[in-house]
């Protein structure tokens, strides 16, 4: 059996129980070494064969996984965070489908969620934002023009910008061109959930300088939006006057 597992954002305790069990049973593990915390490999058996995919091509990864599968071995392909976000998992699954090889996916805690936990913030606040945009600045991988930061900024909602901290000046310029006020709160979290985790919190006007001073480049998440600071409305769910399927309130309100 081949299982793709989300390793979580860094802290080895942030893998799911299911993912940990799969790792503990695996004969072969192929992990994304550029981002997965190697400490998570402590969950593996000593006899397990471990490959670091950082220096491998898609073809090489597939050969390792498929040969192990054919030899009746248990394989874990370990991705950082959740594999469905910038994980390059689809191209692997499609090839396994073509070859008729079964596999499962165990989700993981994505780094954008570890970042909100670090900051102790909620992305979706009543009266403020009910949408979270996950995006990135174009790099070697292009971003479709209709998804440019400038256009996404028009929504004024909560944004998580992956893979872009090294281009923070460009990110800020596009967001402001797109309509965010320069006083919009912004934060960058470096290595959320790792022992060396760090953060800077400011506004679009200040954040680029703060990031440069802190020296964050890789493994950091840019968060932007009014959810970081400022007023919001309390929730209907816990409003004493509001009834719902699990609780009768003092008066019903739409
Ligand atoms: N699949 C992963 C993302 C892989 S892309 C996930 O779900 O989190 C790699 C990018 O993710 C990095 O450039 C950075 O923007 C972000 N990232 C990964 N781990 C992080 C962490 N612990 N803290 C902050 N950002 C992180």
Helices 207-214 and 168-178 pack at an angle, to 10 degrees, of: 170
C-alpha of residue 36 to centroid of ligand 1, in Å: 10
Higher-confidence position of 253 and 96: 96
The pTM of the full predicted model, rounded to 2 decimals, is 0.94
Residue nearest to ligand 1 atom 11, measured at CA = 162
Which fold does the domain 111-228 belong to in CATH? 3.30.950
Please state which of the ranges 87-91, 117-121, 226-230 shows the lowest mean pLDDT.
226-230
| Three state DSSP letters for the chain | CEEEEECECCCHHHCCHHHHHHHHHCCEEEECCCCCCHHHHHHCCCCCEEEEHHHCCHHHHHHHHHHHHHCCCCEEEEECECCCCCCCCHHHHHHHHHCCCCEEEECCCCHHHHHHHHHCCCCCECCCECCEEEEECCCCCCCCHHHCHHHHHHHCCEEEEECCHHHHHHHHHHHHHHCCCCCCEEEEEECCCCCCCEEEEEECCCHHHHHHHHCCCCCEEEEECHHHCCCCCCCCCCCCCCCECCECCCCCCC
Report d(CA 137, CA 167) in Å as an integer: 8
Whether the pLDDT of residue 60 is over 70: the answer is yes
Could you tell me how far CA 28 lies from the centroid of its own chain? 25
Pocket of ligand 1 (CB under 6 A): 9-10, 35, 79-82, 85-87, 110-111, 114-115, 162-163, 189, 191-194, 219-221
Average pLDDT over residues 63-79: 98
Query: In this model, does residue 252 exceed pLDDT 60?
Result: no
Measure 219 CA to ligand 1 centroid, in angstroms. Answer: 6
> 14-29, pLDDT tens digit by residue?
999 999 999 999 999 9
Q: How many degrees, rounded to 5, is the angle at CA 61 between CA 58 and CA 62?
A: 85
- The pLDDT value recorded for residue 240 is 81
Looking at 3.40.50.720, 1.10.10.10, 3.30.70.270, 3.40.1010.10, the CATH number of the domain 2-106 comes to 3.40.1010.10
What is residue 250's predicted lDDT score, i.e. its pLDDT?
Answer: 76
- State how far the Cα of 213 lies from the Cα of 216, in Å rounded to an integer: 8
Centroid of ligand 1 to alpha carbon of 157 (angstroms): 20
pLDDT over 80 (residue 251): no
Model confidence band, residue 212 (pLDDT cutoffs 50, 70, 90): very high
**Domain layout of the chain by residue ranges:** 2-106, 111-228
């Amino acid at each position: 059996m081949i299982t793709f597992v989300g390793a979580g954002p860094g802290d080895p305790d942030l893998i799911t129980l299911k993912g940990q069990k799969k790792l503990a049973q695996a004969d072969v593990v192929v992990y994304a070494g550029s981002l997965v915390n190697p400490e998570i490999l402590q969950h593996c058996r000593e006899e397990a064969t471990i490959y670091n995919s950082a220096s491998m091509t898609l073809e090489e990864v597939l050969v390792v996984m498929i040969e192990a599968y054919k030899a009746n071995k248990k394989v874990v392909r370990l991705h950082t965070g959740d594999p469905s976000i910038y994980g390059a998992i689809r191209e692997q699954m499609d090839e396994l489908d073509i070859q008729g090889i079964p596999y499962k996916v165990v989700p993981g805690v994505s780094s954008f969620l570890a970042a909100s936990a670090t900051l102790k913030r909620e992305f979706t606040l009543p009266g403020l934002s009910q949408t979270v945009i996950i995006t990135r600045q174009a790099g070697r991988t292009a971003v479709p023009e209709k998804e440019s930061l400038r256009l996404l900024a028009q929504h004024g909602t909560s944004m998580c910008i992956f893979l872009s901290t090294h281009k923070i000046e460009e990110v800020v310029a596009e967001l402001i061109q797109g309509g965010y006020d320069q006083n919009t709160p912004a934060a960058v979290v470096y290595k959320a959930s790792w022992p060396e985790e760090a953060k800077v919190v400011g506004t679009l006007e200040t954040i680029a300088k703060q990031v440069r001073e802190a020296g964050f480049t890789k493994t950091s998440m840019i968060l932007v939006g009014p959810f970081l600071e400022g007023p919001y409305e309390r929730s209907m769910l816990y409003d004493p006057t509001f009834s719902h399927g699990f609780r009768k309130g003092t008066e019903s309100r739409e």
